[in-house]
Structure 1
Amino acid sequence: MAPQERRARAWPAVQTWLTDGERFLRQARLSAPHRRPALPVTAPARSITAGARPAPHGR
């Protein structure tokens, strides 16, 4: 296929993206699975209390 013919065939798809790309992207974002947010870096670390012992292993 000649480059000119390839461009002529691709142009309708390019034109569609230029016209409706934002709508496509919005729909993709809304339909993507939602991930749980990660803890922020500023979240305080949980400290172990002074008298705490590890749980027994049940031997």
Structure 2
Amino acid sequence: QDMHCDIEDRLEDGDWAMLEWSDPNGLRGCGFFQIKHGLIQFQRGYFDRLTFYQAAGLPLEDIPR
């Protein structure tokens, strides 16, 4: 399955940046990045896991708890 996302919003504060995104299936999420010397030093992302599993046709009982 082809996966891509559309940028909803971008913010930055000092050496931190945030990217809010959505995809055509209704999945939404955001990524947080710490940038130092032009390189990503730390990255953390969040998304709606239930919507992802449903869109991908994965069994809901496989969702980690």
Give the TM-score normalised by the residue count of structure 1. 0.24
Pair member with larger Rg: 1
Q: Which structure: greater strand fraction?
A: 2
Higher relative contact order (CA 8 A, sep 6+): 2
The TM-score, its normalising length taken from structure 2, stands at 0.22
